[in-house]
């Protein structure tokens, strides 16, 4: 057996360990499930020990498999780092990347940006998911996520700030006609409000108190939504006040369907982060996308 054969199955093994199933691995690599199974069996036979416990639906690493995975990850990280450092800007990039992002910001801002980013590299394939819920990157096999707001401390995630968005409190002209216009944050308590859910947009508002100090305000939870776009539609229909990042309501304000209110009271800008699992060295294709997004953010083109 030549040296190339010895190392050929290691990247596939690492992919299987991360994906958790042979089926997902086959989909990611564009090969058949039987080819994945044969490659793992071939590697186990060559090593002389089992890498996975198998059932009809799931696979799980053995203790030997865990130790071997750590060694392989370290070796692959070193190789990837060397390749990235030595590669030129004309490097041909390929492979699939799963990016998860907020619905409105993703569709209006990130999607056009990503289309331009990957256009020079037709070998890159994107899986794009849009959700206002907080996703578990490791559990859902997400390579990169875009998130609004402060991030909880996590030892398994890396985050880079892309940009920031102004928060806007607004209501429809119809709502203001029916219920009046609040002029202070105290008066908001007498109004109908549209807020998020625990796994969706925020249910609280970020406001500025006297002396220009940021604070959290709990508005009346008249209606709750897990989707930001649905909140905007409800606000346009006159169902209440809301606070969201400017990207989500800019068009509606420009067209007169919504009106910004309490402009001096809406809280500090919300930060937008690119977040990915801490898995050693980034793949060249993911590093390329992250770097391009950071460049656009620095130029103010993700607002």
Domain boundaries of the chain, sorted by first residue: 3-86, 94-163+271-298, 167-268
Same fold, 3-86 and 94-163+271-298: no
Give the model confidence (pLDDT) of 246-263 as tens digits.
988 999 999 999 999 998
pLDDT of residue 25: 85
In the predicted model, what is the mean pLDDT of residues 139-158?
Answer: 76
Q: Count Cβ atoms within 10 A of the Cβ of residue 242 and give its class: 0-12 exposed, 13-18 middle, 19 or more buried.
A: buried
Q: How many angstroms separate the most distant Cα atoms in the chain? A: 80
Confidence of residue 148 (pLDDT cuts 50, 70, 90): confident
Identify the top-confidence range among 69-73, 163-167, 202-206, 220-224. 220-224
* Tokens describing residue 269: 């800008």
More confident residue, 10 or 230: 230
**94-163+271-298 CATH, one of 3.40.50.1370, 3.40.190.10, 2.30.40.10, 3.90.1170.20:** 3.40.190.10
CATH number of 3-86: 1.10.10.10
* Tokens describing residue 109: 């801002």
Confidence of residue 1 (pLDDT cuts 50, 70, 90): very low
pTM value > 0.85 = no
Give the model confidence (pLDDT) of 105-127 as tens digits.
898 899 999 999 999 999 999 99
In the predicted model, what is the mean pLDDT of residues 26-34?
Answer: 86
What is the DSSP secondary structure assignment for residue 191, as one 8-state letter?
A: S
Is the domain spanning 167-268 CATH 3.40.190.290? The answer is: yes
Distance (Å) of CA 189 to CA 183, 185, 218: 11, 8, 9
Give the model confidence (pLDDT) of 224-244 as tens digits.
998 888 999 999 999 999 999
pLDDT of residue 293: 94
Q: Count Cβ atoms within 10 A of the Cβ of residue 101 and give its class: 0-12 exposed, 13-18 middle, 19 or more buried.
A: buried
Identify the top-confidence range among 11-25, 89-103, 184-198. 184-198
* Tokens describing residue 192: 């109908």
- Cα dihedral sign for 7, 13, 18, 22? positive
Identify the top-confidence range among 87-96, 204-213, 247-256. 247-256
Residue 195 near residue 203, CB atoms below 8 Å = yes
Distance between alpha carbon 113 and the CA centroid of its chain, in Å?
A: 15
Residue 159 has pLDDT above 50, yes or no: yes
pLDDT of residue 6: 57
Confidence of residue 191 (pLDDT cuts 50, 70, 90): very high
Q: What is the overall mean pLDDT for the chain?
A: 85
Distance (Å) of CA 29 to CA 14, 95, 118, 231: 12, 8, 19, 39
pLDDT of residue 167: 92
């Amino acid at each position: 057996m030549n040296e190339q054969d010895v190392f050929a199955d290691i990247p596939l093994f690492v992919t299987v360990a991360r994906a958790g199933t042979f089926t997902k691995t086959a989909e990611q690599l564009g090969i058949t499930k039987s080819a994945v199974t044969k490659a793992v069996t071939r590697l186990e036979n060559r090593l002389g020990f089992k890498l996975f416990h198998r059932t009809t639906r799931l696979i799980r690493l053995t203790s030997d498999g865990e130790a071997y995975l750590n060694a392989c990850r370290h070796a692959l990280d070193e190789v990837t780092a060397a390749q990235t450092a030595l590669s030129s800007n004309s490097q041909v990039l390929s492979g699939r990347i799963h990016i998860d992002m907020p619905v409105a910001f993703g569709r209006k801002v990130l999607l056009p940006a990503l289309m331009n980013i990957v256009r020079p590299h037709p070998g890159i394939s994107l899986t794009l998911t849009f959700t206002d819920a907080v996703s578990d990157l490791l559990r859902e096999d997400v390579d990169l996520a875009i998130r609004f707001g402060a991030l909880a401390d996590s030892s398994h995630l890396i985050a880079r700030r892309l940009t920031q968005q102004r928060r806007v409190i607004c209501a429809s002209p119809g709502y203001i006609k029916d219920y009046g216009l609040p002029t202070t944050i105290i008066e908001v308590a007498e109004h109908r409000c549209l807020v998020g859910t625990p796994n969706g947009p925020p249910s609280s508002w970020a406001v500025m108190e006297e002396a220009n100090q940021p604070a959290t305000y709990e508005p009346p939870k008249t209606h709750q939504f897990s989707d930001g776009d649905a909140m905007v539609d409800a606000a346009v229909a006159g169902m209440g006040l809301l606070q969201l990042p400017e990207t989500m309501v800019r068009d509606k304000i420009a067209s007169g369907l919504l009106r910004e209110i309490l402009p001096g009271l809406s809280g500090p800008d919300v930060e937008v982060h690119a977040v990915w699992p801490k898995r050693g060295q980034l793949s060249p294709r993911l590093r390329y996308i992250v770097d391009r997004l950071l460049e656009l953010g620095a130029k103010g083109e993700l607002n």
